[in-house]
Amino acid sequence: MTAKADRKVLFGGRGDEARTGNILEFEGVSLAFGGVKAVDGVTFHVREGELFSIIGPNGAGKTSIFNCLSGVYKPQEGSVKWRGEQLLGQRPDLIASKGMARTFQNIELFEHMTVIENLMLGRHVRMQSGWVSDMLYVGRTNRDELANRAVVEDIIDFLEIEEWRKYPVALLPYGIQKRVELGRALAMEPELLLLDEPVAGMNLEETEDMARFILDIRFELGIAMILVEHDMGLVMDIADRIMVLDFGQKIAEGTPDEVSANPAVIKAYLGEEV
């Protein structure tokens, strides 16, 4: 059995399924904090299984868009539709249970828990055991814990973090913590994965490892992704489509080649020619 065939066990290898249509429709969303418009009438669509990237200078509103998507912020205008279903106004945990997972710009792991426990928490939405059977650790709880531990071990294998499994995450090096956070999001078996600067602060080797994992997720697991990242080399290399934001407004959208040739984008990043 080849390594690739072996890995397909994870989530049944959805990567080969041909799917069409939009998984997410983000329509005219505006979010203001007092007088500051963090997101200003932004519209974009993410297709099934696509690697969509959002770039822009600091403070352009990228993370705010993520927070609108996962229900942490409530935008004043617009609509966010998940396969036709309105997400705005829903609680974060309900949005998560539909299949949206995310990582955070500044690592938000549960630092007192081990790697396995963090990943098992990621399985929370995929487990059913209630507090009564948890108290006795019988029946459903025991079955759930074993079955989901197996999934978690597959993800540990996928992300190559075997040696760290039983460490409390606070003790792990930064690059590994980033990887564990990706693992925790993957453990939710998402259909859309939001990655907020997954390679921020990483060296070249760690960046290339992460790029490899993102491509594996894209092509083997078939999970759609929205990638927010400042590393232009990485974004231009792996993204299918890119949206560029500046001061909360969308200034360009298209393939990496289209975007990098766009005068508005060049102006936002490099300034105007004198």
Partner 1 sequence: MRGRPLLYTSYQEDQSLLNTWTKKLMAALFLALLLIAPFGIVPGLGFLGDNDWVKLMSQVFIFAIGALGLNLLTGLAGQVSLGHSFFLGIGAYTAAWLGGEAGGALLGEGLPMWVWLPAAAVVPAIIGLIVGPTAVRVRGLYLAIVTLGLVIIGEYVFRNWKGLTGGSQSGRTHPEFQFKFWKEGTPLFDFGQDATIAGFQISSEVSTYMLMLGFAVAAVLVAKNIQRSRTGRAFQAIRDRDVAAEVMGVNEFKYKLLAFGLSSAFAGFAGALLASFVGRSIPERFDLFLAVQFIAMIIIGGAGTVSGTLMGAAFVLILPRVVRDLTDWGAAIVESGEGVLAWIGDLFIATSPDDFGLINTLPGVGPGLSVDQLNGVLFGLLIVLFLIFEPLGLYGIWLRIRNYWKGWPFTY
Provide the binding-site residues for partner 1, judged by CB under 8 A.
70-72, 91-93, 96-97, 101-102, 104, 108-113, 117, 120-122, 124-125, 127, 129-131, 134-137, 141, 144-146, 149-150, 153, 184, 188
In angstroms, give the least distance from the CB of 62 to partner 1. Answer: 16
Between 17 and 93, CB nearer to partner 1? 93
Between 60 and 194, CB nearer to partner 1? 194
Between 178 and 184, CB nearer to partner 1? 184
In angstroms, give the least distance from the CB of 88 to partner 1. Answer: 16
How many H helices and E strands in the chain?
11, 10
Helices in the chain by DSSP H: which ranges? Answer: 3-7, 62-69, 92-98, 115-122, 131-136, 140-159, 174-187, 204-216, 232-238, 256-261, 263-270
Between 188 and 268, CB nearer to partner 1? 188
In angstroms, give the least distance from the CB of 8 to partner 1. Answer: 21
In angstroms, give the least distance from the CB of 224 to partner 1. Answer: 17
Between 25 and 145, CB nearer to partner 1? 145
Distance, CA of 188 to CA of 163 (rounded, Å): 22
Distance, CA of 221 to CA of 256 (rounded, Å): 23
In the 8-state DSSP scheme, what is residue 106? S
In angstroms, give the least distance from the CB of 124 to partner 1. Answer: 5
Cβ atoms of 68 and 29 closer than 8 Å: yes
Name the nearest CA neighbour of 244 among 223, 225, 266, 224. 266
Between 50 and 196, CB nearer to partner 1? 196
Q: Find how far residue 16's CA is from the centre of its chain.
A: 20
In angstroms, give the least distance from the CB of 165 to partner 1. Answer: 10
